[in-house]
Amino acid sequence: MTRRQQHDPLQPHAHDPNPHPPTPDPSFIFSAPDGNEQRVTVETLRDLPLISVSNCYIVSTGHGTSGPFTFGGVDLLHLVCQLVEGSWNEVEVISADGFGNRVFKEELLNPSPAGPIILGTHLDGQPLTRADGLVRLIVPSERDDALRQVKWVSRINVLA
């Protein structure tokens, strides 16, 4: 039985609005395919190359759509390539409230015309606050249902 068959943190994929940070800790666990884990802080992300993606929207279940915004942060592909040696196929990004998204390697290698998938740390040039998500997965092509965006990232699992 594979790890996914034992426990898939992204199923079921229901999500109720959560307006308050579930935990005060903004760091997250990064798990590589070999099982090695490390804690990643906001400061660690801010030491990596920052990119900006314009014309992004925040799509929140129960709260509608707001934007457009320019998000700044770390290209998820860059982060994975910095922290993973060897092959991998997908990345699970999971929120402190249990909501999550799966991103496939192909999506990262060939981003949408809307822009690359990033771990956002800035909104319109200003650092995100903990209430804003502090570190949030931004999928620039997302336009409805908030099924791809993850606020309050607490864990990233890279799978082979």
Q: Give per-residue pLDDT as tens, 72-126.
A: 999 999 999 999 999 999 999 999 888 889 999 999 999 999 999 999 999 999 9
Distance, CA of 131 to CA of 1 (rounded, Å): 38
Tokens in use for 44? 């660690």
CA 106 to chain centre: 16
Question: Residue 19 pLDDT > 80, yes or no?
Answer: no
Q: Which whole number is the average pLDDT over 2-21?
A: 54
Indicate the residue type of 33: P
Domain residue spans in the chain? 25-159
> Percentage of the chain surpassing pLDDT 90?
57
The pTM assigned to this predicted structure is: 0.85
By the 10 Å C-beta count (0-12 exposed, 13-18 middle, 19+ buried), 105 is classed as middle
Query: Which stretch of 5-19, 87-101, 126-140, 145-159 has the lowest confidence by average pLDDT?
Result: 5-19
Residue partners of 51: CB distance under 8 A and separation at least 6: 72, 73, 74, 75, 116, 118
Rounded distance between C-alpha atoms, residue 70 and residue 60, angstroms: 17
At 142 the pLDDT is 78
The whole-number pLDDT of residue 21 equals 64
Is the per-residue pLDDT at 30 higher than 90?
yes
Question: Nearest-5° angle of CA 127, CA 129, CA 131?
Answer: 155
| Top CATH class, 25-159 | alpha beta
- Exposed (0-12), middle (13-18) or buried (19+): which is 58, by Cβ within 10 Å? buried
